[in-house]
Amino acid sequence: MSVLGTQALTLSDYKKRINPDGTTAFIIEALEKVNPITQDARWKEGNLPTGNVTTIRTSLPTPSIRKINRGIKRSKSTTKQVQDTCIILEDRSSVDIELLALQRDKEGFRRSEDAAFVQGFADVVAANMFYGSTDDNPDTFNGLSVRYNTLTDGGNGTAGHQVISAGTAGTDTNTSIYIVGWGTQATCGIYPKNSAMGLQHRDLGEQTVTDSEGREYQALQSLFTWKAGLAVQNIRANALVRNIDVTKLKTAANKQAIIEAIVQAKNRIQGLDRGDKQMAMYVSPSIYDMLELWLMDKNNVHITRQEMMGKMPQLFFTGLPVKKCEAISEQEPAIT
């Protein structure tokens, strides 16, 4: 049985995209997810064809007290290198030339299909920025939840120092709050050396393609490619609140514990008030609801809302912009 309808536009798809007057319908992207992390990320070209190598200082020189007629013990700093790789995302849209011939606004019809591909790519990149794991899939990159996946505090410069637990975790009913510092010397998206940044689109024009049964037909094709990775160049640029049980968000004690955990996590970030990075706090839809409702709590001193020119009011937590990200899961396992 042919599955062509899952790979390319069919006449049935066509009829669902045309207005009664024959023009291309404006498509309501009900499946579009809210994932501002891909727009917020600072991007830089990597120093490798496959990604980027970051050199991180791991210890500082220790000066000695100089005594008269006595020498001192020499010291030095130490460093280590971390290599981050990029993934290559690729997809193609294909529209049968006979299907396109029925359309008055041919370019508009193709653009309506291409827009869905753009959103699909953004959703995958956002999901990997949070949950990508090279242990689960060697072809991806490690996301923030994997890089900050421990509660063991090893002191400044360790991932565990940047993670605060919100209390008792549930069983696969947890979520996390991600406070991210974007900057070329902090956390940034990367793309391979000598390549292009962001989603690339190529109009391949009319080509001979095959259906699922190997039979040929002519179609107009578009090729989409995005080479992307993530580099955490300063482990102290970010902080996470983990083990938030979303089934207990209405409990007053748990809400207070989450607020206190956010304060602690925020204060773990190095140079929070410096202008060398752009800060943002990413939360799941349920956490966003909880924080916005906290505005009405008489004990609230941390959460504010500011009117933005021509936009919806923006939520802030002690100056940090709070952004809802649908890529953040509310079914995370507990970490220990």
At residue 158, the 3 state secondary structure works out as coil
The per-residue pLDDT for range 143-190, each reduced to its tens digit, is 999 999 999 988 888 999 999 999 878 888 999 999 999 988 899 999
Contact between residue 32 and residue 327 where contact means Cβ atoms under 8 Å apart: no
Q: Which range is least confidently modeled, 16-30, 170-184, 233-247, 321-335?
A: 16-30
Residue 187, pLDDT score: 93
pTM: 0.83
Long-range contacts of 298-302 (CB under 8 A, 24+ apart): 299/256, 302/259, 302/262, 302/263
Q: Band the pLDDT of 28: cuts 50, 70, 90.
A: very low
Longest distance between any two alpha carbons in the chain, whole Å: 96
Residue 267, pLDDT score: 95
Contact between residue 131 and residue 145 where contact means Cβ atoms under 8 Å apart: yes
Q: Band the pLDDT of 245: cuts 50, 70, 90.
A: very high
Angstrom distance (rounded) from CA 62 to CA 261 = 33
Q: How much helix, strand and coil, in percent to the nearest 5, is found in the chain? A: 25, 30, 45
Domain chopping of the chain, boundaries: 33-53+82-324
The per-residue pLDDT for range 298-311, each reduced to its tens digit, is 888 899 998 877 77
Q: What is the 3-state secondary structure (H, E, C) of 239-264?
A: EEEEEEEHHHCCCHHHHHHHHHHHHH
